[in-house]
Chain A
Amino acid sequence: MQSGLESLFVLGTSHHTTPLDVRERFALTVDQTNDLQAQIHAQEGVRECLVLNTCNRLEIYCLVTSSSSLEIVRTLLCKAQGISELLFEQHAYNYTNLDALQHLLEVSSGLDSQMIGETEILGQLKQSFASARKDQCTGKIFNRLFEKSFQAAKAARSKTNISRGQISIGNVTVNLASRIFGQLNQCRVLLIGSGEVGEKTALALKSRGVDDISVCSRTLENAQKLANSLGCATINFEDYTSHLEYFDIIICSAASPKIILNKTALHSAMNQRPERPCFLIDLALPRNIDSTVDSLENTYLYNLDDLSIIANENLCARKNEIHKAREILRKHAWSIWLQIRRSEQILSVGDS
């Protein structure tokens, strides 16, 4: 890293350097973020700026002409968050010029994310950029810089496997369901139990077009509460086995010490629908579904371990791609940096 402040810098905190309880204290609301951005842009010596505020990071990108700008920005940030500069210093990082640009590219490509390769950050960065541009906090340099960083992120994703394979239980389930059913919009889902993982899995399926979800739980109140949050129906826990043949995907996450779905019940259901596959997801510990149901024709049983293995292997595969993606981004960063210097002749304090 280069020492001393130069014309482009990024100052911030992220999940890499800051534990969750501290990140909670650093968090800003949308209004606070916009106010901070406007305040920073109003400072003398700040040409352009952008504040990126997500659940895992708070970063300020600045193009400045004065060496004191970093200190001013830091003070403004701590003031906005209502925290001491000492606490912030313990968890903060800053990069300048080419290092700052490389960092931006790694953030936009998801390389710096907690879930490596995730694409949500790119959307958040685009949103922050659109907001800053609308407020005229960005100018010619940042407009070019951020547009180029989005292109570089796309290139890194397409040339490597950094974003391939799902790494959350919900998305792994959706992926497996697609391999069984293709389009998911016609699938009927039964959620047994009101566990959190089950709820997240149902939400992931819903986000992929599943409309027909039913919930059943030993405690009717829990079932109704969950049904309300998912916008779906409830069925009685006592007689759900008599409706099994109507469901394509069955998610079990009930806190039951014994098996609640056995082979006999499922065999009887499958006899009613021999051509339609049934995807069973057992997310409970101890398990809710008899493991022998997997031997039934046209049924596919996955438990928490199976899904975790898939998620972890996908994550490992992504990690193996980090070096390759970083090299691609390094080349892009260098190329963008040269283009900007050539066109704008950025004067860095360090150079002068």
Chain B
Amino acid sequence: MTDRDLLAVAFAIYGCAFLYGLSFLLMRRPYSRVAMLIQLSCGFLLQTLGLNLRGTTIKAWPLGNPFEVAQFIAWSLVLLFFIIGPAFRLRLLGFLTAGLTTLIAGLSLAMHSWDHPYPLRIFGSNPWIEIHAALAIFSYSIFAILSLISFMFLVQQHGLKKKQFRGIYQILPSVQQLDLMAKRLLFTGVLFLSASLIFGAVFWANNFDLVPVFKLTATCIIWIGYLCVFTLRMQRKLVTRRHAIATIILFIMALLSLWPVESARGPELIDKTSVAPQF
């Protein structure tokens, strides 16, 4: 079995978990959390194996092309769910995580051009730049979960304001729980992104010409955006609904920024002595 096969099976399991949750929601009944957790665990295990296999082949973190970046985001998303899901028992988070993971993993598998070959040791011989990339992508996963929670908040708040009480509104967590969780995730995400940028900045300071200006600008805009939202939140000036909308917009911007960041990756960064095989 190739790494891509394992990732495809993991995608199928995530899809099953999503459909399982959806079928129960359509019947207006809560799904079993244990069943959802088992399905996500199976998918996660296979995805970990797939990414590990890919990482062993390229001898680095598998973050060399859009396919791997998308898979890594999906993997981190499920990992985060395992951390915060059981601890805070946020209803529907498992279902929405399964949905978003299926979408991201499915998209990456469907777009064959994303999985293009790239030179081996794409991050060169500097391990810090590899940590920078991994932390940045992990922070994006945190922001993905944050946007899911913000979405859940907006739905629940809409239901309460419009006096809706049936269906999904009864299953969603309370607005206060969601708002508190969003605040914590924002703090964690900003922390990881900042750490990632610090590692990146060290590399950039020593290799000024190797980092494209466009990539630097896009990354800094996203970071400043999240930092502003975080600061305003701490000052209690951007709260609840507006905070939820801001985090969703920022996450969409962060996703869109991945493309120019990826395309602006300088060939100078790459150690051209070896090339990874076609996947």
| Chain B, range 211-269, C-beta contacts under 8 Å to A | 236, 239-242
Residue of B nearest to A309 (CB): B163
B-contacting residues, A134-185, CB 8 Å: 161, 165, 175-176, 178-182
Q: Is the CB of A178 within 8 A of B174?
A: yes
B167-190, CB < 8 A from A: 169-170, 172-177, 179
Choose one: A165, A275, A309; the contact of B236 (CB below 8 Å). A275
Nearest CB on A from B186, distance (A): 13
Residues of B within 8 Å of A274, CB to CB, are 236, 239-240
Q: Which of B160, B163, B240 contacts A275 (CB 8 A)?
A: B240
Asked whether A294 lies within 8 Å of B165 as measured between CB atoms, the reply is no
Whether the pair B174, A182 counts as a contact (CB closer than 8 A) is yes
Chain B positions within 8 Å of A181 at CB level:
174, 176
A180 touches B174 (CB 8 A): yes
Stretch at the interface among A7-15, A214-222, A296-304, A327-335: A296-304
Contacts of B165 in A (CB 8 A): 165, 175-176, 310, 313
Q: Which residue of B28, B163, B173, B177 is within 8 Å of A306 (Cβ)? A: B163
CB-CB under 8 A from A178, the residues of chain B are 174
Q: Which residues of A contact B239 (CB under 8 A)?
A: 274-275, 297-298
Shortest Cβ distance from residue A210 to the other chain B in the assembled complex, whole angstroms: 14
Q: Does B161 contact A (CB under 8 A)?
A: yes
Asked if B173 and A310 make an inter-chain contact with CB atoms under 8 angstroms apart, the answer reads: no
The number of residues on chain B lying at the interface, defined by a beta carbon within 8 Å of a beta carbon of chain A, is: 22
| A275→B240 CA distance, assembly (Å) | 7
A161 CB contacts on chain B under 8 angstroms: 28
A170 to chain B, nearest CB (A): 15
Asked if A208 lies at the interface with its beta carbon under 8 angstroms from chain B, I say no
Nearest B-chain residue to A177, judged by Cβ: B174
B147 within 8 A of A: no
Docked complex Cα distance between A313 and B166 (Å): 10
Q: Does B156 sit at the interface, judged by CB under 8 A?
A: yes
With an 8 A cutoff between CB atoms, is A276 at the interface?
Answer: yes
User: A residues within 8 A CB of B170?
Assistant: 179
**Which of under 10, 10 to 19, 20 to 34, or 35 or more describes the interface residues of A?**
20 to 34
Check A45 for interface membership: any CB of B closer than 8 A: no
What is the distance, in angstroms, from A321's C-beta to the closest C-beta of chain B? 12
Closest chain B residue, CB of each to CB of A294: B161
Chain A residue numbers with a CB within 8 Å of B160 are 176, 179-180, 300
Assess the B240–A302 pair: CB atoms within 8 A.
no
Chain A residues, CB < 8 A from B159:
179
The reply to whether A180 and B236 form a contact with Cβ atoms under 8 Å apart is no
Q: Is A277 an interface residue (CB 8 A)?
A: yes
CA distance A175 to B160 in the complex (A): 11
Candidates B169, B173, B177, B241; contact of A297 at CB < 8 Å? B241
Contacts of B166 in A (CB 8 A): 165, 313
Task: Output the residue of A165, A176, A276, A298 with the most chain B CB within 10 A.
Answer: A298
Tell me, rounded to whole Å, the shortest Cβ–Cβ distance linking A175 to chain B. 8
From B172, B176, B236, B242, give the contact of A277 (CB < 8 A).
B176
With a cutoff of 8 Å between Cβ atoms, the chain B residues found around residue A180 in the complex are 160, 174-176
Scan residues 281-322 of chain A and give those whose CB is less than 8 A from a CB of chain B: 294, 297-298, 300, 302, 306, 309-310, 313
CB nearest to B177 among chain A residues: A182
Which has the most chain A C-beta neighbours within 10 Å: B170, B173, B174, B236? B174
B175 adjacent to A179 (CB under 8 Å) = yes
Complex: A220 Cα to B252 Cα, angstroms: 56
CB-defined contacts of B175 to chain A, threshold 8 Å = 179-180, 277
Give bound CA distance, A322 to B175, whole Å. 33
**Can you report 25 A-B residue pairs in the complex whose CB atoms are below 8 A from each other?**
A165-B166, A175-B165, A176-B160, A176-B165, A179-B156, A179-B169, A179-B170, A179-B174, A180-B176, A182-B173, A182-B174, A182-B176, A182-B177, A274-B240, A275-B236, A276-B176, A277-B176, A297-B240, A297-B241, A298-B239, A298-B241, A300-B160, A300-B161, A306-B163, A309-B163
Going nearest first, the 7 A-B pairs with the smallest beta carbon separation are A182-B174, A182-B177, A274-B239, A274-B236, A300-B160, A181-B176, A298-B240
B residues whose Cβ falls under 8 Å from a Cβ of A = 28, 156, 159-161, 163, 165-166, 169-170, 172-177, 179, 236, 239-242
List 14 other contacts, CB 8 Å, given A176-B160, A179-B174: A161-B28, A179-B175, A182-B173, A274-B239, A274-B240, A275-B179, A275-B240, A277-B176, A277-B240, A297-B240, A302-B163, A310-B163, A310-B165, A313-B166
